Structure 1
Amino acid sequence: MTTSPYLVTLDLDGVADKAALMDRAVSALGLPNWFGRNWDALADSLRDPSVWPPEAVDRGLLVVVTGWQGYARSRPDEWQVAQDVFAQAAGDEPALTVALALG
């Protein structure tokens, strides 16, 4: 029997800039105090199961990004970088999936 991945919701509703996105990522993913709050640090954290919630280590991690449309409209260049970080990290092992919720 296959175990479902551990679900984390990254809610970006009301996020207006990269700093706020990083704050939400810290909160949603429970990232450590030393998290650098930059794109490289986010990519590294998504790729590193040692900083994931403990329940995700053996099951895999599903990050569902909600409320992202406003940020994407107001900061398209930053949003493109965020999408690139998500896509690159999702290609790594162990199982990480990042899904953009449309509703």
Structure 2
Amino acid sequence: MTLDLTGITSKTAIHQLFKEKLGFEEWYGPSWDAFWDSVVAIVEMPPVLTLTNWEEFARSCPRDMEILRRVIQDYNQEMAPKRMMLD
């Protein structure tokens, strides 16, 4: 599955995209802890999740991009062979 982050310039927007496209629960809010819980234990993730056009988000939200990179790294280690990647 590929998610296009074009136009995503806030933490709220990226989490809303994740909620809508990955089928997160209704209670899901803009939190990296909630994201982690959702992707490892609540929803069935695709074998590969590719995030494209993430550069604008990285410029707008450098701290959140750093957190997302760590989450991706941890997910890839813990959930192998499933994985997330930036393209």
* TM-score relative to the length of structure 2: 0.86
Cα root mean square deviation, aligned: 1.6
The residue matched to 1:37 in structure 2 has which SS? coil
Whether 2:19 is the aligned partner of 1:26: answer: yes
Cα deviation for residue 94 of structure 1 reads 5.5
Match of 2:73 in 1: 87
Number of aligned positions between the proteins: 87
Deviation larger for 14-23 or 74-83: 74-83
The residue matched to 2:78 in structure 1 has which SS? coil
Match of 1:77 in 2: 63
Q: How high is the sequence identity, in percent, across the aligned residues?
A: 29
Match of 2:2 in 1: 9
The whole-number CA distance in structure 2 between the counterparts of 1:26 and 1:90 is 20
The whole-number CA distance in structure 1 between the counterparts of 2:81 and 2:36 is 14
Listed as ranges, the gaps of 5+ residues in structure 1 are: 1-7
Superimposed CA distance per residue, residues 63-92 of structure 1 (whole angstroms, 9 cap, x where no aligned partner): 000110111112111110111112112211
Q: Judging by fraction of residues, say which structure has more helix.
A: 2
Match of 2:44 in 1: 52
AA paired with 1:37? P
Deviation larger for 90-99 or 78-87: 90-99
